[in-house]
Amino acid sequence: MNRLFLESIMEFFIQGLIVCFGLIVSIGAQNAFLLKQGILKQHVFAVALICFLGDVFLMTVGVLGLGELISRLPVVSLLLAILGAVFLFTYGSQSFLNIFKADGALTQSSENITSLKRILMVTFAVTFLNPHVYIDTVAILGAIGGKLAFSEKIAFLFGALSCSFIWFFGIGYGAGFFAPYLAKRRTWQMLDFITGVIMFVIAASLIMYAWRLIMQL
């Protein structure tokens, strides 16, 4: 019994890890800023920490807070699942389109922001003033986590947060070392392809979940 329970918990931990990876990998404003600071080696720990703590707050609200509401209101769950699927299909399509763009490489900029205060302000802006952050962490993760039992939600949440921690600190401190590779468009083409596939798979799962809810109404 304990073995089956642990296997189940590990399954949802891995699910949270994979879902978060698909949502977090694409090169948006937050990742681009963190990568640039990593390449410039300026206040990397502070920037990565704020990005991660933002995810801790928003993912917890999404999976536990919004998830509880979703579990009690199937109509809300249905709407979020449909909206999430539409967004993910759009997001995934954009990732595939990015593969064919020629101007997506990230190179070291001559811009040099040295003030910690200014860097923190920019980090807060790209973290909390970005609507995609709320859609990813609160709406989509909330829609997926809302249908899980409490122990499964915790495992799913820890999986997502583990991915967030590894990603933000990994690219922050790894950017300087991998700067020559990150400056190549081919690297981001591969990441965009992986992101697009994961987005489509998650969107399909949300559509199937929405269909089951419709059949139950």
Task: Using the structure block, give the residue that is written with the tokens 């539409």.
Answer: 86
Residue 179 has pLDDT above 80, yes or no: no
Give residue 177's pLDDT: 78
Residue 170 lies in a domain: yes
- Average pLDDT on 30-40 reads 80
Residue 24 lies in a domain: no
Residue 5 has pLDDT above 90, yes or no: no
- Cα–Cα distances in angstroms (integers) from residue 197 to residues 74, 154, 172, in the given order: 28, 26, 25
Judge whether 113 and 123 are in contact, CB under 8 Å.
no
Residue 211 lies in a domain: yes
Residue 166 lies in a domain: yes
**pLDDT: which is higher, 158 or 134:** 158
Residue 29 lies in a domain: no
List pLDDT tens digits, range 137-155.
877 887 788 778 888 899 9
Judge whether 35 and 107 are in contact, CB under 8 Å.
no
Give residue 71's pLDDT: 60
State the Cα–Cα distance between residues 85 and 80, nearest whole angstrom. 8
**pLDDT: which is higher, 70 or 187:** 187
Give residue 110's pLDDT: 45
Residue 25 lies in a domain: no
Task: Using the structure block, give the residue that is written with the tokens 């593969």.
Answer: 99
- Average pLDDT on 167-191 reads 79
Give residue 165's pLDDT: 96
Judge whether 186 and 42 are in contact, CB under 8 Å.
no
Give residue 110's domain range.
2-17+44-216
113: which DSSP letter?
Answer: -
Residue 196 lies in a domain: yes
List pLDDT tens digits, range 69-121.
666 677 877 787 787 788 778 878 887 887 787 555 555 444 455 688 888 88
203: which DSSP letter?
Answer: H
Number of structural domains (the chain) is 1
Residue 91 lies in a domain: yes
- Average pLDDT on 202-211 reads 83
Question: Between helices 74-98 and 185-216, what is the axis angle to 10°?
Answer: 160
Task: Using the structure block, give the residue that is written with the tokens 């109404």.
Answer: 217
Q: In terms of Cα–Cα distance, which of 103, 164, 169, 175 is closest to 133?
A: 164
